[in-house]
Amino acid sequence: MRNVTSETITKAFLDYCSDDTDPRLMFIIERLANHLHDFVRETNLTHEEWQKGLELLMAAGNISTPERNEFILFSDVLGLSSLVDMVNSAENGTPSSVLGPFHILGAPDVPVGADLKGGNEGTTVVVGGRVTTSQGAPIEGAELEIWQTADNGLYSNQDEAQPEYNLRAHMTTAADGRYLFSTVRPAPYTVPDDGPVGELLNSTGRHPWRPSHLHFIVTAPGHRSLVTEVFPSDDPYLDEDPVFGVREQLVMDYQKREDPSDLPDDLEAKAELKSPFYVVDFDFVLADASTS
């Protein structure tokens, strides 16, 4: 089409795409083109503003490394990562939440009741519950990947002072679907704000502090895999998570306790728990693999 105008360009774009294009890809591209074109038309975007957007993308490319993906961070702070989680979340299971960039493979296998805290500084928390089906039946052999920050707000792969797999574990539930571990209370931390994402946050008056959280991936055969986070109910940043990961069902009380005697006997650290400590009860509900 040689007479492309601001009104006809979207149709011209779609007409240029082959009829043989994969239908799902074509649908995605059709929606993307319509939204991006409408964005430019509605804002009458200037050349300077367009240039600024391209500079942010180029800066994101330049600051990204194998350890830091600024494009994912843009997706996170724009709410896109969480929105993808939400539209793919099973309705009859525990809500999913952002994976984040700090998960690594190879965390050590530990038994139910293991202590992850070891020599870490900070408040002791005992975290436990059950993995169940959406009908409430316990799932034996469900696998949990667990990771979190140390008391300084850093993950082990951000902090050379921590052992390689510090505060990371892989645990398999027993016949009653139970999981249990003692650990240190995770700390709030900032998303990286020294790049173009930080510029976006600054220019809109947003802060980079994520509420503290425990990360989990929970999987079991025949069930949808769950990637989620669990937040303490007293965290000051719960209502303004810059990456939109908080869901009401993922907010848990850290219950203060002084007497460890009623804790399960398979809690490895039970005898050495210093008072006070905190207890978190959280059950994971996995939707059937067949459900949407």
> Is there a contact between 59 and 196 (Cβ–Cβ < 8 Å)?
yes
> Is there a contact between 66 and 266 (Cβ–Cβ < 8 Å)?
no
Q: DSSP 3-state assignment of 180? A: strand
Task: Give the C-alpha separation, 196 to 63, whole Å.
Answer: 9
Query: To the nearest whole angstrom, how small is the minimum distance from the Cβ of residue 215 to a second copy?
Result: 16
Query: To the nearest whole angstrom, how small is the minimum distance from the Cβ of residue 8 to a second copy?
Result: 10
Contact between 23 and a second copy per CB under 8 A:
no
Q: Which one of residues 23, 67, 68, 86 is an interface residue with a second copy (CB under 8 A)? A: 86
If you ran DSSP here, which 8-state letter would residue 108 be given?
P
CA-nearest of 196, 184, 178 to 281 is 178
Report angle CA 68, 96, 252 to the nearest 5 degrees. 100
Give 81 or 183: the residue with its C-beta nearer to a second copy. Answer: 81
Query: To the nearest whole angstrom, how small is the minimum distance from the Cβ of residue 289 to a second copy?
Result: 15
Tokens for 219, please give them.
């999987």
x-marked contacts with a second copy along 248-277 as a string, rule CB under 8 A: x--x--------------------------
Q: Which one of residues 9, 154, 174, 217 is an interface residue with a second copy (CB under 8 A)? A: 9
x-marked contacts with a second copy along 36-55 as a string, rule CB under 8 A: xxxxxxxxxxxx-xx---x-
Task: Give the C-alpha separation, 123 to 35, whole Å.
Answer: 48
Contact between 2 and a second copy per CB under 8 A:
yes
Q: Where are the alpha helices (DSSP H) in the chain?
A: 9-16, 23-43, 47-63, 70-77, 80-87, 196-203
Number of residues in contact with a second copy, rule: CB under 8 A?
Answer: 75
Contact between 137 and a second copy per CB under 8 A:
no
Positions 172 through 211 that interact with a second copy (CB under 8 A):
203-206
Task: Kindly list the distances between the CA atom of residue 206 and the CA atoms of 49, 82, 195, 271, in Å, as whole numbers in the listed order.
Answer: 21, 17, 14, 44
Q: Which one of residues 83, 164, 236, 275 is an interface residue with a second copy (CB under 8 A)? A: 83
Q: Which one of residues 17, 111, 163, 255 is an interface residue with a second copy (CB under 8 A)? A: 17
Contact between 291 and a second copy per CB under 8 A:
no
Q: DSSP 3-state assignment of 214? A: strand
Q: Which one of residues 84, 109, 194, 259 is an interface residue with a second copy (CB under 8 A)? A: 84
Positions 97 through 136 that interact with a second copy (CB under 8 A):
none
